[in-house]
Amino acid sequence: MKAIRVFRRAAKSIIFPALALCFSGCAALFYVPLEIAAFSPSRAVYSPEERPEVWVEFSAAVDRARAEQAISLSRDGTKLSGRYSWSGDRLSFTSYEAFSTGCRYELRVDTSVEDEYGNSLQRDFVFRFRFGSDTIRPTVLDTHPETEGVDCDPYDHEELGGVLPDDLYHPVTVVFSEPVDRAGFFEAFSLSPAVTGRYEWPTDDTAVFVPAEPYDWQTEYKIKIDTGLKDLEGNTLAEPYTSHFFIGTDRTAPTVLSVESIVPSPARQGDPPEAPLVLAENMIAAGWEADWDIIIAFSEPVTEKSVQTAFSLTPAVDFRTVFDPLSPDRVVLDRAEGSRFRYGETYVLQVKPGIEDRQGNKTANTLFYHFVVNGPYTKPPSIFQIYHLEDIAQNLDPDWNGTWDWMLLHPLDTLAVQPDGEPPLKTSVFDFYFTKAERTTLTAASFAENFRIEYENGCIGVPAYASIRVISPAGAAAASPPLPGGVELAPDQAVVRVCVRLVNTLNGGTLTLRLGREFADQALDNPALHNPLTDDWSLRLRDPD
């Protein structure tokens, strides 16, 4: 009994108070999670007119400083500022900014909040809410240019470009299931490659992008609307929308159909008559004339810009590229005035890649056309020998032995010239032997304009020209005095005979026969065609002193 009494006393004085303390303050002794007992807003959706208070009520008294740090109200991910107030265990938050529609709000209390015994929330408290009754996401109903599906493959696209040139500015139309937020649309919409343009909104649910610059040909454009697009109440697009279209209906690059010469008009009437020469790629064509131009025909119209630098000639020849918009499928390479191909040279015409048709298809390869300028009609005249006869009246000398004293001249030969003041005055003859082109003749006028006898130190008197005439093969036999050595002229040869009175002086020196490079032949079939000498010609001789 005594033991029972002792136990009762102990229970009275120690155990009961301890148990009482234990049950009344278990939060201090055991971990009892802090909880959010109540909160506001408590509905996920409010009408736009409603203005709910924002507060949370804790299940126990909390450390207020920590609680104020732990609570946050954010709008679309951005924390809002505001003021705090307390009423018992209820912490109210008054935002500085009013609620608005089209946004997503989140009320959050993180686990840093503690009650006075250090117990915290088991996990973050999060509640999301919004304003507006619309909870249906917007969708893209239609686009134009359009594809068959949203997740179209790269080959599932619409082709534009059949109607020039409007398709280069084809608007992109997007029809949504409901009106959308325009600012969000501008951010969410993209066209790739990028094109600048303006936006139009024929209705609130339809956006039209009108390019302000042309699309590029042969390019696929991707339309994308990302999930940032929102309707007017903040519902976003469920998944990105893509579509694409292609600019161009013609995928075929232009080709060179032909490269051929342009012959002068009237043409030269040889046998056969002069006719255009067609060049073949990577083949060397012979018979090109030095005064021809070139015409290049394409399989379809090409753009002027792309052909301007598409051609080159090697060796260089000065020419311009003539493009006629009325005949856009051909280009003429027109030699500059006074420019001509150098006779005997082999030229390469290079057609560079990048020549575009009207839909931007470009030639891919470099083409080469070779031709040798050795046509029969533009061979330049050339002196191959010169004879000199001291006295054209040699046959009148009683002592004449019947042989004309023609002298074949070589450089620095001593020229036989009668001394000054020694009668009778003699007229000497120079016969210039030329080779020449077919269907041409040499002319005294051109020779006279370009021929000079130059002398130094007054070694001869001023030459007095008597005549200049051209002896053709047909007239060779009748020439008087006869051509030296009875030489017959080939069909491609001619002689220019210069009769001139020269007298020797007491001064010594050299004299030079010069023919300027502008000396030219004359085409028989076209008075405007002439083949000039390749270069200035000269022959230096000594006087007899």
Selected binder of another protein within 6, 17, 29, 97 (CB under 8 A): 97
What does the alpha-carbon distance between residue 101 and residue 318 come to, in Å, rounded to a whole number?
73
Would you count residue 198 as binding another protein (CB under 8 A)? yes
Selected binder of another protein within 27, 448, 453, 479 (CB under 8 A): 448
Q: How far is the CB of 212 from another protein (least distance, A)?
A: 5
Look up residue 161 and give its DSSP letter: -
Would you count residue 465 as binding another protein (CB under 8 A)? yes
Q: How far is the CB of 528 from another protein (least distance, A)?
A: 5
Would you count residue 199 as binding another protein (CB under 8 A)? yes
Q: How far is the CB of 470 from another protein (least distance, A)?
A: 9
Q: Which CB sits closer to another protein, 169 or 368? A: 169
Count CA within 13 A, CB hemisphere, residue 370: 6
> Binding segment for another protein among 125-133, 185-193, 372-380, 506-514 (CB under 8 A)?
185-193
How many chain residues bind another protein (CB under 8 A)? Answer: 58
Selected binder of another protein within 38, 464, 477, 490 (CB under 8 A): 464
CB 93 within 8 A of CB 54: yes
Q: Which CB sits closer to another protein, 110 or 405? A: 110
What does the alpha-carbon distance between residue 24 and residue 137 come to, in Å, rounded to a whole number?
52
Would you count residue 304 as binding another protein (CB under 8 A)? yes
Q: How far is the CB of 217 from another protein (least distance, A)?
A: 14
Strands ordered across the beta sheet of 82-87: 36-40, 54-58, 90-95, 82-87
Q: How far is the CB of 94 from another protein (least distance, A)?
A: 10
Residue 414, number of CB atoms within 10 A of its CB: 12
133: left (phi over 0), alpha (psi -120 to 50) or beta: alpha
What does the alpha-carbon distance between residue 534 and residue 313 come to, in Å, rounded to a whole number?
20
Q: How far is the CB of 210 from another protein (least distance, A)?
A: 9
Output Rg (C-alpha) for the chain, integer angstroms: 53
Q: Collapsing DSSP states into helix, strand and coil, what is residue 304?
A: helix
> Binding segment for another protein among 132-140, 377-385, 483-491, 516-524 (CB under 8 A)?
516-524
Selected binder of another protein within 1, 3, 316, 326 (CB under 8 A): 326
Would you count residue 445 as binding another protein (CB under 8 A)? yes
Q: Which CB sits closer to another protein, 63 or 345? A: 63
Q: How far is the CB of 445 from another protein (least distance, A)?
A: 4
Would you count residue 441 as binding another protein (CB under 8 A)? yes
Burial (CB < 10 A; 0-12, 13-18, 19+), residue 47, is exposed
Binders of another protein in range 52-91 (CB under 8 A): 63-66, 68-69, 78, 80-81, 83-84
Selected binder of another protein within 120, 428, 505, 522 (CB under 8 A): 522
Q: How far is the CB of 97 from another protein (least distance, A)?
A: 6
Show the 3-state SS of 54-105. EEEEECCCECHHHHHHHEEEEECCEECCEEEEEECCEEEEEECCCCCCCCEE
What does the alpha-carbon distance between residue 543 and residue 157 come to, in Å, rounded to a whole number?
90
Look up residue 229 and give its DSSP letter: -
What does the alpha-carbon distance between residue 27 and residue 114 come to, in Å, rounded to a whole number?
12
Q: Which CB sits closer to another protein, 407 or 524? A: 524
Structure tokens at 343: 């006779």
Structure tokens at 181: 């937020």
Q: Which CB sits closer to another protein, 63 or 413? A: 63
Q: How far is the CB of 455 from another protein (least distance, A)?
A: 15
Selected binder of another protein within 261, 446, 504, 505 (CB under 8 A): 446
Bridge-partner residues for 208, per DSSP? 173, 200
Q: Which CB sits closer to another protein, 272 or 527? A: 527
Would you count residue 449 as binding another protein (CB under 8 A)? yes
Q: How far is the CB of 325 from another protein (least distance, A)?
A: 5
Closest CA to 224 of 198, 243, 199: 243
Would you count residue 319 as binding another protein (CB under 8 A)? no
Binders of another protein in range 164-183 (CB under 8 A): 165, 168-169, 181-183
Residues 6 or more apart from 2 whose CB is under 8 A from it? none
Strand runs labelled E in 147-193: 158-160, 172-176, 189-192
Q: How far is the CB of 337 from another protein (least distance, A)?
A: 8
Q: Which CB sits closer to another protein, 60 or 407? A: 60
Binders of another protein in range 104-133 (CB under 8 A): 116
- Quick one: how many helices (H) and strands (E) in the chain? 7, 38
Residues 6 or more apart from 264 whose CB is under 8 A from it? 274, 291, 292, 526, 528, 529
Count CA within 13 A, CB hemisphere, residue 340: 21
Selected binder of another protein within 325, 402, 424, 486 (CB under 8 A): 325
Selected binder of another protein within 48, 197, 301, 473 (CB under 8 A): 197
Whether the ω angle into residue 266 lies within 30 degrees of 0, i.e. cis, is yes
Residues 6 or more apart from 9 whose CB is under 8 A from it? none
Would you count residue 186 as binding another protein (CB under 8 A)? yes
Q: Which CB sits closer to another protein, 16 or 400? A: 16
Give contact residues for another protein (rule: CB under 8 A). Answer: 9, 13, 63-66, 68-69, 78, 80-81, 83-84, 96-97, 116, 165, 168-169, 181-187, 196-199, 211-214, 304, 322, 324-326, 337, 441, 443-446, 448-449, 464-468, 520-522, 527-528, 530
